[in-house]
Amino acid sequence: MQSTTLALLLEEMDRSKDIANIEEQYKVKALDGAIRRLRRESVFPWTIKKGSLKVFSGVKEYPVASDHDELIYLDPTNLSAYNEAARFFNTSLQQFYEDVMSGRNLMAELWDNGTPMLGVNYKDLGLSSIELDDGEDSGRCTPTGDAVSVSDDTVNYKEGNGSVRVVVTASTNIATIKTVFPVALSDSLYKSKYHFRWIYLDAVPTSIEMRLQTSDANYLKTVVTAQFSGQPFKADSWNLIAQNLDEATEMGTFNSASIASEKIILNGAATGVYYLDTCSLREWKLFDYWYYSRNVVIVSGGSSATQEKFYRTSAYDLGDALVGDAEWIDVIIYEALEGLLAEINNVNLFAYVMRKKKEAWDAFSAKYPDMVPVVTTIRNRFDNEPIIKSL
């Protein structure tokens, strides 16, 4: 991996006496400012990372990698022919949810209350989705603990024609709702699936335990603390939660030939009204997930970039290194010098730095094109609006 240590960057900057006389911490902060400024204008091939994403039919919101900055490319792994490619149409948030290109797979970068997500609408009908419970019959549900009653509801629901209304009265901080499936499922391939459930939260609980059961003593369980998409739980809203059955904890002996019931256990749920809707097992397809990482700094002794900048927690290490080739390093140095020269009265040095900065940018731009997918939107014209029909 090509990289340049902070010590070498500072040594290069100190060629001028006026710059050498500046306190070192301010030069480090100038380098960090240059990195941040350049990230607003460009993306860099040495920050490209390849991850993986499990994509489900009917699920639209997915978590991003912790260091995700910009999405580059998403497609099924191990493609052997062009016709197997997903060929996503990359579009805006509004047109993603409006499903404007109804015949195409859609992709978008989404944000909700500061949390980034990937919007993926993959329409391969070959992926199985097995409905375990439609969430419309409270007669199959048994509340215990702080869950004091259940009833049918046809007003607040996410899918179908209704949901199960659950009244919680906080006392023990544990509210449990058991649902017996109308038909026990046999699925020897359950480990290649996720267990999903829609739940409406009146207030945000500490955590939610999901159990997929053969019986009350034999089940798979996972404690989830966020929505499937990576967003925090949201009060007064529907939340999609899920557990990966390949990683779930087995209690007793789970029998895949008799998947008979489910328990949803709300830990720390406040008094209020909660709702349950569709429960399902969904098969996934593995996708290559290429993205630009925010991280460009390798900490001293490290082997890969794990930091966004040099100066952190009121300290820096001269052994830290900036990832990238010579064209990038030059751009960072001259961008940082320009910032430092704002407080130095040296016209000749300023002219020299600006000339070198332009040369560095020209070399960088010529070598590295932008690979971020262009966001495409479509304008619709409707026949029932004759005034603008011919525009």
Closest CA relative to residue 225, chosen from 195, 204, 253, 200: 204
What pLDDT score does 275 carry? 98
The pTM assigned to this predicted structure is 0.83
Q: Per-residue pLDDT tens for 211-232?
A: 999 999 999 999 999 999 999 9
Quick one: which H or E segment has residue 222?
Answer: strand 218-224
Residue 202 contacts residue 235 (beta carbons within 8 Å): yes
Around Cβ 219, how many Cβ atoms within 10 Å?
A: 24
Average the pLDDT over 274-287 and give the result.
Answer: 95
Percentage of residues in the chain with pLDDT exceeding 70? 93
Q: What amino acid is encoded at 106 in this protein?
A: L
With beta carbons less than 8 A apart as the criterion, state whether 163 and 173 touch.
no
CATH 2.60.120.260 assigned to domain 131-284? The reply is: yes
| Closest to 179 (Cα-Cα) out of 137, 147, 239 | 137
| Structure token pair of residue 90 | 């990359």
Three-state SS for 232? strand
| CA angle at 204 for the pair 199 and 205, rounded to the nearest 5° | 90
Query: Domain map of the chain by residue range?
Result: 3-44+296-367, 50-127+287-292, 131-284
Pure H helices in the chain: 6-13, 17-20, 24-41, 93-98, 326-341, 347-367
Residue 260 · residue 215 · CB < 8 Å? yes
Measuring CA to CA, which residue among 262, 274, 273, 238 is closest to residue 141? 262
pLDDT band at 391 (very low <50, low <70, confident <90, very high): very low
Between strands 48-56 and 106-112, the pairing is unpaired
pLDDT digits (tens, 9 = 90+) for 283-310: 999 999 999 899 999 999 998 999 999 9
Residue 344: partners with Cβ closer than 8 Å, 6 or more residues away: 18, 19, 350
Q: Cα torsion for 364, 365, 366, 367, to the nearest 10°?
A: 50
